[in-house]
């Protein structure tokens, strides 16, 4: 069975070039394009609250959730400068909400970093469910209607920050 499957795959791969006749009776070689390679998602820059079949939270959401649950706000502020854009985004929205509720006080430097983060072209991938995923810049995450996670993000923040 495995040998038959292997032969079938080899046959398909070798038959990507196909000869056919055009309307003038001349042979034409048609090159068939192979499908694009599967999209590789960097799990470190993934943001989601119910991703894939299991409906699990992304690693970045889990990390920032843990920081918020344990009220490690100094660690949260440090994430404003993180190299990971997903954690940077989540820290930015969390710090804004915490300051709005008078639970933290941001320095001028931290407030300036929030402005930088909101205009950043760094990319994150957002996911919801089994098939819904999209790559957006941090700027798009804050200001674009393409961010289908905005309501889930707000709900998550309200659960984490009371």
Does the residue 59 lie in any domain?
yes
Sign of CA dihedral 104, 110, 116, 120: negative
Domain assignment present for 12: no
Per-residue pLDDT, 19: 46
What is residue 42's predicted lDDT score, i.e. its pLDDT? Answer: 74
* Contact residues for 125 (Cβ-Cβ < 8 A; gap 6+): 41, 42, 45, 46, 47, 133, 134, 135, 136
Residue 142 lies in a domain: yes
Q: What is the pLDDT of residues 29-65, one digit of tens each?
A: 666 677 766 666 777 889 998 887 788 899 999 999 9
Is there a domain that residue 33 lies in? Answer: no
Count of structural domains, the chain: 1
Q: What does the radius of gyration of the chain's CA atoms come to, in whole angstroms? A: 24
Q: Hey, which bits of the chain come out as E strands?
A: 17-21, 27-31, 46-51, 123-129, 132-137
Q: Is residue 137 part of a domain?
A: yes
Is residue 69 situated within a structural domain? yes
Range of the domain at 99: 44-160
* Confidence (pTM): 0.74
Determine the pLDDT at residue 1: 59
| Whole-number pLDDT of residue 9 | 64
* CA–CA distances in Å: residue 48 to residues 44, 53, 142, 144, 156: 11, 12, 15, 17, 10
Q: Is residue 114 part of a domain?
A: yes
The ranges of the chain with pLDDT < 70 are 1-32, 36-40, 130-131
Is there a domain that residue 7 lies in?
no
pLDDT at 61: 96
């Amino acid at each position: 069975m495995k040998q038959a499957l292997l032969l079938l795959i080899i046959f398909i791969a070798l038959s990507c070039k196909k000869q056919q006749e055009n309307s003038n009776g001349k042979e034409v070689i048609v090159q068939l394009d192979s499908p694009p390679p599967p999209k590789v998602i960097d799990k470190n820059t993934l943001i989601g609250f119910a991703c894939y079949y299991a409906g699990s939270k992304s690693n970045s959401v889990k990390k920032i959730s843990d920081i918020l649950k344990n009220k490690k706000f100094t660690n949260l502020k440090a994430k404003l400068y993180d190299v990971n854009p997903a954690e940077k985004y989540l820290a930015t929205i969390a710090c804004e909400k915490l300051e709005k509720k008078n639970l933290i006080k941001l320095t001028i430097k931290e407030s300036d970093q929030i402005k930088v983060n909101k205009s950043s072209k760094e990319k994150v991938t957002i996911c919801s469910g089994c098939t819904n995923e999209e790559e957006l810049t941090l700027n798009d995450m804050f200001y674009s209607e393409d961010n289908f996670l905005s309501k889930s993000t707000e709900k998550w923040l309200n659960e984490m920050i009371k």
